Structures are given as C-alpha cells and as structure tokens.
Amino acid sequence: MKKLLLVLAVVLFANVANAEGFGFHLGAKLGYQTANLSLQKADIENGFSNHFTAGIFGRVTIKNVLIQPELMWFKSGQVFNLENDGVINPTLTMSQQNLALPIFVGYQFLDLKLVKLRANVGPVMYFVVDQTNKCNYNDQAIDIDANGMTWGGALNVGLDVLMFTLDINYSFGLTNLIDKSDVKIGGYDFPIDNTKQSIFTVTLGVKLFSFGL
C-alpha cells in the first residue's frame, strides 16, 4: 500500500511539474546590507566586507504568480549614544548574528524567456543566534538582550537572467529588537527608544536546481 501511494505521489508531482505555467527553483545567494543604496564601487565593496549576507532560496511559480521562501544569515549591530542630563554619556554597542526567514509572494510582470522581472512582498521572521554587548563606560557589563525572534516586512524587486538572479529588497521592522525601555549604567537610567530596524539588502543568486519555468 505504501509503495502504491509513493508511486501515485511521484506521478502526481511529475504531472504538476510538467503542467504548463509551473516552475520550481532551488538556489543559493549572497549579498550585502546597506542603509542607503549606492552604485559606487567603494560602497558596494564596503557592503560585502562589513555587512555580508548569504543563504538559500526556493521558488514556486504558477503562471506569473510566485512564492519564494528564503533563509539568510547576516550580522547586525546597533550603537546607542545615551544621554542623561550631561552627567555621563556612555555608548552602548550591541552586535548580533541572525537568521532571516522571509516568505515572499509576488508577480512576474515581464517574461522575455531569458530575462524576467518580478516584484514580491511578504513577512519576515528574524532570529538572533548570537549576541554581544559592549559599553564604553568602565567596560561595564550590560544586562540587556535582544529578542530571540522579531517580525518585519519586506518589499522586493528581482531580475532573472538565465540561471542568475538579482534581488533588491527593503525590509522594515514591525516589532522592537529590544523590549526594555531603559538601561542602567553607572547607577543612572538611560532610555532606549524605538529599536525597530529597517535596511536594504542586495543579493546575487544562482539557481542550482530547476524544472519547469
């Protein structure tokens, strides 16, 4: 019975895969993050050097509608210049290693066979996998942690040329990275406001496995 179900599943999947207007792709991508998009070579090299990101993606296309989940690794950091009536003005630096899981839903609005253009939108889940804190005031240890998971949204435009992809997306935070509204340093309380993060991500990818469209 199990063998029969397996054969039926394979046949069904093969029929879907061969159906007109259906495609599946699995690939890898790498890129960088930036607060401001730039075409300057120095800015792009700096992005790859200091704000590198890499991961994998899958894409299912039905006619011109597509679903594209991704899993991306990246580093992030925040610098808080804290003030308290001029008594002391410490700087708090937080650094994280993260995973991002966006799930894009989009539309392929131009199909020239070898060149395709698309636009996507979707939610993003962010997971902090490692974190370090540093304060310039007496090297004080700071008891403050980023949330293990936060939510965001992203807008994406993409270009496909043969097996290669170029994606530019703007992601915006929907929940705060840090729940605490203040931090104590040197016996003083310092407020921390709005820790929602927004960033541009530029990636180059390659489709390692494809069938259909």
Domain coordinates of the chain in residue numbers?
A: 22-212
Long-range contacts made by residues 135-142, C-beta under 8 angstroms, separation at least 24? Answer: 135/90, 135/91, 135/92, 135/93, 135/185, 136/90, 136/91, 136/93, 137/88, 137/90, 137/91, 137/185, 137/186, 138/186, 140/90, 140/185, 140/186, 142/92, 142/183, 142/185
Q: Which CATH class is domain 22-212?
A: mainly beta
- In this prediction the pTM is 0.78
- Per-residue pLDDT, averaged over 105-110, amounts to 91
String of DSSP letters for 159-191: EEETTEEEEEEEEEESS-S---SEEEETTEEEE
- Percent of residues in the chain assigned helix, strand, coil, to nearest 5: 15, 60, 25
Residue type, 213: L
| pLDDT classification of 171: cutoffs 50, 70, 90 | very high
- Per-residue pLDDT, averaged over 108-115, amounts to 87
pLDDT tens figures, 130-155? 888 777 776 666 767 777 888 999 99
pLDDT of residue 67: 94
pLDDT of residue 138: 65
